[in-house]
Amino acid sequence: MSNIAIIGGSGFLGINLALELANKKKKITLFDIKKPNKIINKYKNIEFQNLNIQTEKSIKEKLKKYKIIYYFASIADLDKANEDPKNTIDINLICFLNFLEEIKDLKLKRILFASSMYVFNDMAGFYSATKLACELFLESYSKKFKIPFTIIRYGSLYGTYSQDWNGLRKYIKEIIENKKIIYYGTGDEEREYIHIKDAASISTTLLNNQYKNKAVTITGTQKLKSKEVLEMIFEILNLRKNIIYKKNKQKEYHYKLTPYKLMPTSSKKIILNEFIDIGQGVYDEILNIKKNDLQE
């Protein structure tokens, strides 16, 4: 019987977490509207169940046998989230509230909710608003119904199985295909990139009791400017640097130097003693993208 459920488990973060948990001999069920990567077929302790959080009427019944639930379901693409506020509010907030109402009486050991560093900033519009609202409602449900929780504020993730809109993956693909890149911004924007495998590894440690009813931050230890990352990609590909900087109103959703502006529940940042260096991570992602393009 599976003992860990991942809602939105077929996504970038969900699939990498599932693999990390599976390697730790945990039993996992992925719940999602889309089928996960075929990599899970190699694992006997990962199973998949179809679940549409917008229409499912028996969430409580489906989840009653699980004691630990990671909740990752959301619209995470900032531009997409802000282009359609109604859909973003429905999926990111209303569906999460329906989920809390359904599972409030279950005797859970923990709900681990995937939030974002953008809760510290109002730049991300409807995306950050829905994530912050979810945090507040989760804390309120926890106080009233004694639901143990952990809020996980992820930073800039990259790596294996990332979506096409993922920032670093998008940069790499454009440079490979066009031998140049049009970047909307100044290039001085700073990010603390963290490889998805490192983020997944940290996410498994959050099951320890010391993180119960806490908020944690998972970002990288290496702060880089966007232009430094772009130049690194050109160098690894052995291409002449060709970066065209432009202004674009869509980029108003992304913070420039730091997300810290608002003051939600305080959190502790968790880092690994050993982690994947950004240079190695970018190199590996380039190889993954080239390999996938050849297979397609």
Which of residues 252 and 136 earns the better pLDDT score?
136
Question: Exposed (0-12), middle (13-18) or buried (19+): which is 147, by Cβ within 10 Å?
Answer: buried
Q: Map tokens 């973060």 to a residue.
A: 13
Rounded to the nearest 10 degrees, the angle between the axes of helix 226-236 and helix 278-295 is 60
CATH number of the domain located at residue range(s) 4-295 in this protein: 3.40.50.720
- Strand-pair category, 222-225 with 190-195: antiparallel
What DSSP element (H or E) covers 4?
strand 4-7
Across all residues in the chain, what is the average pLDDT?
A: 87
State residue 261's pLDDT score: 47
**Over the stretch 143-198, which tens digit does the pLDDT of each residue have?**
999 999 999 999 889 998 988 888 899 999 999 999 999 998 889 888 888 999 99
Map residue 279 onto helix, strand or coil.
helix
Q: Per-residue pLDDT for 46 more than 80?
A: yes
Q: What is the mean pLDDT of residues 87-99?
A: 95
State residue 23's pLDDT score: 94
- Confidence band, pLDDT 50/70/90 cuts, at residue 1: very low
Give the domain ranges of the chain: 4-295
Which of residues 286 and 49 earns the better pLDDT score?
49
State residue 91's pLDDT score: 93
State residue 247's pLDDT score: 80
Q: Per-residue pLDDT for 249 more than 60?
A: no
State residue 164's pLDDT score: 84
Distance of CA 243 to CAs 114, 181, 186, 199, 227, Å?
33, 5, 11, 29, 8
Q: Per-residue pLDDT for 294 more than 50?
A: no
Closest CA to 156 of 100, 223, 61, 74: 223
Phi, psi dihedrals of residue 214, rounded to the nearest 5°: -125, 160
State residue 191's pLDDT score: 85
Mean pLDDT lowest for which of 10-19, 72-81, 198-207? 72-81
Question: Residue 93 carries which DSSP code?
Answer: I
Share of the chain above pLDDT 70, in %: 88
- Confidence band, pLDDT 50/70/90 cuts, at residue 296: very low
Q: Per-residue pLDDT for 22 more than 80?
A: yes
State residue 257's pLDDT score: 46
- Range with top average pLDDT, 55-59, 138-142, 222-226: 138-142
Mean pLDDT lowest for which of 75-79, 101-105, 145-149, 216-220? 75-79
Closest CA to 125 of 158, 192, 80, 156: 80
